[in-house]
Amino acid sequence: MYILTERESLCLWHTENDMKRLAAVVLTLILAFSLTGCRAVSETGSLPLPGPQEEQEPEYVIPGKEKEMLPLQYMPVSDVELEPEPPSYEEISLDCPEVPEIRQTRYGLDMGLDVFADFIAERFGIYVDANWKVFVHYYDDLRTGGMAEFLYTVGEIDTNKAVIFQIEYDKAVRVYYKNLEQTADENGLLERVDMFRQRYEQERPVLGDDEHMDEEKFSYTYYYSTDKLVYCYNAFFSYGEHGVINNDWGTQCFIGEDGQAEFFGVSGGKSA
């Protein structure tokens, strides 16, 4: 994650609006280059693991073998160990006055994002296609600040190969990028996920009488620099008379070369 220098911070904190934009930019980078393996704030999740009504689908079942249960409340190694290098960035001046706000989805030519796709092609030599997910968000109704994210995927696997544009007043003023020249055995990654899904079933939270399951998210994320493939499950549920949202329940683990789950404690020591 890129950390703003003291001088940059002072320049941005002159007004209340600037302060809000600074906080939004920092949050954007935390989310976009998140190293936890969970993109819980994404507008759409990856394709789910088989749920209770899907377990008999042939692609997820090994005949004669019962699936192992993935327990809740396991965490992977620290962020720095997953991806130690911060993203690179450049100051730019790119007009983008009519770019719409877009929930995270796969890139298409009719989305109005040509200005960004053309920049990526010209600056980085990368053709943006449907292998990339895009997400455009503005932090206020006046669109004084926002971001446009391009995230490379391998099938349903997210990666930390990404390009992020920082937008201020209809102009992209900075571009962040990470792992653009990195490659991986993509078929091998997909095979590891498939073996993992055939082998495991996710334990679900047992909710109380006053609790209600709002959403479950499953994701897979690949980290190029450390060659780590991470599985993440998050359960979002509400409880109490005020409908407070809770996401305390979750599972994170590495997916090994043979599709095995490898759990690590917060300190980085292997626990199972």
8 three-state secondary structure: helix
Q: Is residue 192 domain-resident?
A: yes
Q: Is residue 119 domain-resident?
A: no
pLDDT given for residue 242 in this prediction? 66
Q: Which residues pair with 157 in a beta bridge?
A: 154, 220
Q: Is residue 139 domain-resident?
A: no
pLDDT over 70, % of the chain: 68
Q: Mark out the alpha helices in 52-113 (DSSP H runs).
A: 79-82
pLDDT given for residue 74 in this prediction? 76
Angle at 138 between CA 238 and CA 239, to 5 degrees: 5
Q: Is residue 43 domain-resident?
A: no
For 167-178, write each residue's pLDDT tens digit: 999 999 999 999
Which has the minimum average pLDDT: 40-54, 88-102, 114-128? 40-54
Give the DSSP H/E element, type plus range, for residue 20.
helix 16-32
pTM: 0.75
Q: Is residue 164 domain-resident?
A: no
Q: Which of 110, 101, 158, 100 has its CA nearest to residue 131?
A: 158
Q: Is residue 204 domain-resident?
A: yes
DSSP class of residue 141? T
Q: Is residue 41 domain-resident?
A: no
Q: What average pLDDT score do residues 126-144 get?
A: 95
Which has the minimum average pLDDT: 37-46, 138-147, 175-184? 37-46
pLDDT given for residue 51 in this prediction? 34
**How many domains does the chain divide into?**
1
Q: Is residue 105 domain-resident?
A: no
Angle at 167 between CA 164 and CA 173, to 5 degrees: 85
pLDDT given for residue 235 in this prediction? 87
- Separation of alpha carbons 27 and 85, rounded Å: 18
CA 244 to chain CA centroid, Å, is: 24
Kindly state the tokens that stand for 11.
């320049």
Q: Average model confidence (pLDDT) for the chain? A: 78
- Separation of alpha carbons 263 and 55, rounded Å: 23
Residue 223 domain boundaries: 58-79+185-262
